[in-house]
Amino acid sequence: SGSGPGRLGLTRSRYTLSFRGRLELDLVVGDTPPADSQAVVVPQDVYLILGEVSTIEETREPLVGAWATLGRLKPKPRGSVLVSPGSGGAPVLLQAIVYDFEDTPHARSVHVFEALLTAFEEARRLKLASLTLHPLGTAHQGVPAEEFARLLLQVCFSAAELGTSLKRVHLLLPSPEDLLRYEALLANQGRRVEPS
């Protein structure tokens, strides 16, 4: 319904949270960000081995050699964000360093919160109006989805209060089940965050 080329399978929730009328947060299901996204925030680990920007696959070494290579790399600090400019009209990529697989749990709330703050600050610095983010730190036995939802709402609320260039934040979810789950979490958390 109304999907353009490359937008197949993108489902939007009817649920949108507004923060002081300045910033809106909505939920989207799909594997690509909405067309208006100027930046995408993806979860990453301290050695940059997760996701689209994988270094292991590019090395074509046996796994032992790849792990040895990783051992020589200097880990990135958790809570930090690496900014890669988008090429050819693609959105800016913000890699949120939230995982450390040598630590248990692999992700902690404090680092997720720092990464969210930093990503929102980068969006303000770059004067972006829209940002898409994947849930940060909720996979690989990380933080509970409830905790991520609470931190995200807190950062959205603060950004709206303190002034931000962002007008819309999309939370990009992998499945319709996740959509229902986050709708419930945000509705529940939203009542606590912003008094009417």
Beta bridge pairs of residue 97:
44
Q: What is the DSSP string of 27-69?
A: EEESSS--TT-SEEEEEEETT--SGGG-SHHHHT--HHHHHHH
d(CA 104, CA 177): 27
Start-to-end CA distance of the chain, whole Å, equals 34
Predicted TM-score (pTM) of this structure: 0.83
Pairing mode, if any, of strands 11-19 and 39-45? unpaired
Query: pLDDT tens digits for 99-154?
Result: 999 999 999 999 999 999 999 999 999 999 999 999 999 998 899 999 999 999 99
Task: Dump strand ranges (E) for 35-177.
Answer: 39-45, 81-84, 92-99, 130-133, 168-173
Mean pLDDT of all residues belonging to the chain:
84
